[in-house]
């Protein structure tokens, strides 16, 4: 048996007729930039997130950049992010002109360690970005308390957490603004790049709408230096189709995770992820930890099971950020988990036989 880390074709096959219909409609109307498909998707995505507004943008990295920009964050400002996240969180901050300031993460949940945030706050700090990594929301009550105490803005990087919950509230509705990515492999993925900013602040929403469209609230009127960063119309049409199926896909992800958790709980060499509540987690990734990570990855590859590492290097060790002097800093937990983590295959269309095969190979590895 061969198991892919993720097989996007299976999902496409299951919704192919709806996707083709949506594509036809866009071609028939021949509106390819903004227009009704983008507006319709934005409306349903805002509703899905239980927030007032969603603004489609070109990708999740731009979403972070434009959200910070709309709140006036720029040069000499600092924005707190976790040391363990996808590079784009830091890039979005850097594009705004602000400096990303890193905070170590929790070794079990992989999420920003709220107890370490206050030590990183300076007179230049303007915001905290909580990253709902792997599909699990951060401890937003704690983050809100710290943000309020220091008069900081609070944002969510929800690129991996479409539909996740925190205490009965949806990701996207938990802060002053949230950013999403619709990169094909994300829980809600387009057939190309896409992203969105979700907020209930009308003023910020209006600013972002202008920022994404050459800084132009009215055609040929430019009051600010804007960008060309719109959500593509075809992608918006596809996303509306996929959003209708998302709850079902999420439920299946949770079932798969539940099976992994049950079948692997006795393993001695493999540590399972720290999960607050399965029903709140959307399992973008299922990440285990172990001492002999590379050996396990090789063993699984020899058995035709594809795995991945999210991510092999913490933010501060990337060459791209050397001008921040990050190399001198140390985030021991982030550094350590990078060497220990392994992401197992988990996608809505994975079969019971495939999960069974993966679990049996993990058990075999553990017994050696």
Ligand X SMILES: *Cc1c(COP(=O)(O)O)cnc(C)c1O
Residues 147-166 that bind ligand X (CB under 6 A): 157, 159-160
* Residue among 130, 189, 195, 314 that touches ligand X (CB under 6 A): 195
Structural contact between residues 359 and 350, judged by C-beta atoms closer than 8 angstroms:
no
Q: How far is CA 314 from CA 58, 158, 231, in A?
A: 26, 19, 29
181 lies in the site for ligand X, by CB under 6 A? yes
59 lies in the site for ligand X, by CB under 6 A? yes
H/E element, 131:
strand 125-131
Minimum CB separation of residue 214 from ligand X in Å reads 20
189 lies in the site for ligand X, by CB under 6 A? no
Q: Which stretch binds ligand X (CB under 6 A): 56-64, 72-80, 137-145, 293-301?
A: 56-64
**CB-based contacts of 187, cutoff 8 Å, min separation 6:** 135, 160, 161, 162, 163, 246, 249, 250, 253, 282, 284
Residues 131-150 that bind ligand X (CB under 6 A): 131
Q: Give the 3-state secondary structure percentages of the chain, helix then strand then coil, rounded to 5.
A: 45, 15, 40
187 lies in the site for ligand X, by CB under 6 A? no
233 lies in the site for ligand X, by CB under 6 A? no
Q: How far is CA 99 from CA 91, 92, 152, 296, 363, in A?
A: 10, 10, 15, 37, 44
State how far the Cα of 120 lies from the Cα of 319, in Å rounded to an integer.
22
Minimum CB separation of residue 86 from ligand X in Å reads 4
Given the complex with ligand X, which of 67 and 290 has the nearer CB atom? 67
88 lies in the site for ligand X, by CB under 6 A? yes
* Residue among 67, 80, 84, 85 that touches ligand X (CB under 6 A): 85
Question: Tokens standing for 291?
Answer: 């001492």
Burial of 40 (0-12, 13-18, 19+ CB in 10 A): middle
183 lies in the site for ligand X, by CB under 6 A? yes
Given the complex with ligand X, which of 59 and 125 has the nearer CB atom? 59
- Report the interface residues with ligand X, using CB under 6 A: 59-61, 85-86, 88-89, 131, 157, 159-160, 181, 183, 193, 195
């Amino acid at each position: 048996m061969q198991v892919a880390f993720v097989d996007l074709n299976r999902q496409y096959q299951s919704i192919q007729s709806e996707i083709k219909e949506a594509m036809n409609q866009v071609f028939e109307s021949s509106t390819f930039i903004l227009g009704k498909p983008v507006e319709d998707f934005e409306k349903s995505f805002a509703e899905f997130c239980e927030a007032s507004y969603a603004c489609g943008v070109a990708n999740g990295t731009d979403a972070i950049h434009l959200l910070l920009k709309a709140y006036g964050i720029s040069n000499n400002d600092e924005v707190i992010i976790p040391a363990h996240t996808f590079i784009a969180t830091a890039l979005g901050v850097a594009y705004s002109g602000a400096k990303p300031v890193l905070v170590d993460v929790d070794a079990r949940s992989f999420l920003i360690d709220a107890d370490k945030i206050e030590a990183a706050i300076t007179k230049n700090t303007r915001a905290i970005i909580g990253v709902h990594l792997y599909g699990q929301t951060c401890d937003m009550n704690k983050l809100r308390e710290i943000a309020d105490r220091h008069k900081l803005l609070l944002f969510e990087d929800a690129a991996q957490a479409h539909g996740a919950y925190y205490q009965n509230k949806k990701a996207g509705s938990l802060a002053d603004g949230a950013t999403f990515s619709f990169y094909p492999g994300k829980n809600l993925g387009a057939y190309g790049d896409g992203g969105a900013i979700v907020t209930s602040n009308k003023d910020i929403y209006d600013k972002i709408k202008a920022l994404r469209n050459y800084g132009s609230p009215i055609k040929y009127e430019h009051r600010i230096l804007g960008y060309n960063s719109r959500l593509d119309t075809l992608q918006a049409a596809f996303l509306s189709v996929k959003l209708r199926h998302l709850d079902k896909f999420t439920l299946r992800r949770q079932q798969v995770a539940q099976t992994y958790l049950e079948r692997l709980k006795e393993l001695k060499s493999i540590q399972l992820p720290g999960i607050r509540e399965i029903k709140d987690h959307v399992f973008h990734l299922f990440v285990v930890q172990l001492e002999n990570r590379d050996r396990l990855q090789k063993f699984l590859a020899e058995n035709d099971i594809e795995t991945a590492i999210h991510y092999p290097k913490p933010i501060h060790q990337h060459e791209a950020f050397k001008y921040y002097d990050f190399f001198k800093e140390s985030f021991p937990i982030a550094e350590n988990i990078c060497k220990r983590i392994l992401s197992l295959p988990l996608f809505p269309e994975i079969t019971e036989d495939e999960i069974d095969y993966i679990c049996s190979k993990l058990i075999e590895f553990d017994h050696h």
